[in-house]
Amino acid sequence: MTTFNKVTAAHIAALREIAGVQYVLADEESMSRYAQDETEDLHYLPEVVVKPDTTEQVSRIMQLCNEALLPVTPRGGGTGLSGGALAQYGGVLISMERFNRIQLIDERNLQVITEPGVITEELQNAVKEKGLFYPPDPSSRGTCFIGGNIAENSGGPKAVKYGVVKDYVLNLEMVLPNGDIIWTGANVLKNATGYNLTQLVVGSEGTLGIVTKIVLRLIPLPKNDLLMLVPFRSAESACAAVSAIFRAGFTPSAMEFMERDALDWVTKYVQSNAVRIDDDIQAHLLIEVDGNYPEVLMQEMEGIAGVVEGFDIGEILFAEDSQQKDELWKLRRRVAEAVKANSIYKEEDTVVPRAELPVLLKGVKEIGNRYGFHSVCYGHAGDGNLHVNIIRGELTEEQWNGTLKEGIREIFELVKQLGGTISGEHGIGLVQKNYMDIIFDQTSMHLMKQIKQIFDPNNILNRGKIFDC
């Protein structure tokens, strides 16, 4: 393994020469703002933070670091949940925050060309003004960057109908670790021209290059939506209802699962009185349909209600207006925050074929009983994507950082057994890499490590994320 060098005053001077004095931070106070993301309580201080503004600058910075063998960590909005943007080896942290321009909303072709530092929600709003829709919307959409979404192949509630980030990325401009600049594909909906470098980069967690420009496809904005909240007397039957809805031929635009605790905690956390939760309710599904024809949406909602009524439910809450819809969505989007405020926790991003959700949920609880941990589960049930929040609660230090690892391993082994995998949308980063052997055999892992080496022979870019090599 290459040994990294430390960042020197000369390096900092060279970085200032490239990016401008005010965009290179080396004082501890400034840098400490770049030492964390949203992953547990991890903290890694870089040696220097640089904020380039152009592809050319990124290229020169990478050339410098590659020659000087300095570790480089690219960073978007800092909202990651797997530690992908943390400077584990110190070194140079490249913040993409100044790449915040939407370059072209191409209404003729239903495409947008954007820089990676644009906040996802701002991108969504900008295209919405033109009657266009960019669906992937992680819960952090108000602060995360579109570039980070590409690094992690993010999803969000709409993925169940509209797919995840990878389904919208057409082409990427990227700076390789040696400073070379490439485009990965073309601005087209269909492409059978060589290996799909674009899709190799999506989800690669900033380990193969630094994306500097993004071409996304857009779709026409659906004009209407309807939303309902369905309370279930058993969490497992809520999970079972998910698959039944799809088998009945419906494709909701969102299908979110929340265990009782999740909705309870967030309701208290945001002091909402939007929902009254009866004592016998164990879980909720938040179900949305969208489209252009209100009468069709009404029919679909009624059809879905008909399906869930077979599952021992409480009274369905139909959102009456956009205010009530916003309120329900706010509750769902802020669950993670509420859980975090309640206790230290570790979040596992399990995903299985959707009909296996009840088995997964039951297994998680059973494993929790054996290892003595409480979990709060919620997530994108329509995709089979269940976020398992393991609450620290009364666990001792030895349990929390010791034996719990075995419990998590058991959860992931169950996930694998059910045809699933250990991350649906958060990525592997730092915190899940020791579980990669559950999903991939040595041959596949070796292929990935060799791919990393092709792109980054000196292993300077985001080393130690996804795997060690």
Nearer to its own copies, 193 or 273 (CB): 193
**How many C-beta atoms surround the C-beta of residue 71 within 10 A?**
26
Residues 250-289 that bind its own copies (CB under 8 A): 250-251
Supply the minimum distance, in Å, between the C-beta of residue 292 and its own copies: 7
Site for its own copies in 173-212 (CB under 8 A): 176, 180, 182-197, 199-200, 202-204
Give me the least distance between CB of 145 and its own copies, in Å please. 16
* Residues facing 216 on adjacent strands: 112, 169
283: β partners: 232, 259
Token representation of residue 115: 């820089």
By CB under 8 A, the residues from 288 to 317 that bind its own copies are 292-293, 296, 299
Cα 136 to Cα 20, 194, 254, distances in angstroms:
34, 27, 11
Near its own copies in 6-45, by CB under 8 A:
none
- Judged by CB under 8 A, the chain residues 428 through 447 that form the site for its own copies are 428, 436, 439-441, 443-445, 447
Q: Are 38 and 102 in contact (CB under 8 A)?
A: no
How near is the Cβ of 5 to its own copies at its closest, in Å? Answer: 25
Smallest gap from residue 49 Cβ to its own copies (A): 26
Nearer to its own copies, 13 or 447 (CB): 447
Report in angstroms how near the CB of residue 166 gets to its own copies at its nearest.
7
Among 69, 270, 275, 451, binds its own copies (CB under 8 A): 451
- Buried b / exposed e across 415-442, counting CB within 10 Å, b at 16+? bbebebbbbbbbbbbbbbbebbebbeee
**CA distances to 11, 19, 27, 194 from 68, in Å:** 8, 17, 21, 33
Question: Please, what is the end-to-end C-alpha distance for the chain in angstroms?
Answer: 7
- Tell me if 466 contacts its own copies by CB under 8 A: yes
At residue 155, φ and ψ (nearest 5 deg) are -125, -105
Report residue 355 as tokens. 């009909």
Residue 278 or 441: which CB sits closer to its own copies?
Answer: 441
Near its own copies in 385-424, by CB under 8 A: 385, 416, 419-424
237 φ, ψ (degrees, to nearest 5):
-75, -25
Closest distance to its own copies from the beta carbon of 192 (Å)? 4
How far apart are CB 33 and its own copies at their closest, in Å? 26
90-129 residues near its own copies, rule: CB under 8 A: 106-111
Q: Tell me which stretch binds its own copies (CB under 8 A): 15-23, 230-238, 261-269, 426-434.
A: 426-434
In order, the DSSP letters of 291-314 are: ES-HHHHHHHHHHHHHHHGGG-B-
Using CB under 8 A as the binding criterion, the count of chain residues that bind its own copies stands at: 90
Give the β-pairing of 254-259 and 210-217: unpaired
Binders of its own copies among 320-359, rule CB under 8 A?
349, 351-356
Structure tokens at 308: 């869930």
Kindly tell me which residue out of 20, 142, 163, 372 binds its own copies, with binding defined by CB under 8 A: 163
Residue from the set 138, 155, 157, 407 that interacts with its own copies by CB under 8 A: 155
Tokens of 454: 């092709």
Helix (H, G, I), strand (E, B) or coil at 87: coil
**Binder among 154, 267, 282, 462 for its own copies (CB under 8 A):** 154
> Among residues 128, 166, 325, 409, which is the contact residue for its own copies, using CB under 8 A?
166
Q: CA angle 253-256-257, nearest 5°?
A: 155
Cβ distance to its own copies smaller for residue 14 or 448: 448
Give the count of alpha carbons within 13 A of 49, CB side only: 26
Q: Does 360 bind its own copies (CB under 8 A)?
A: no
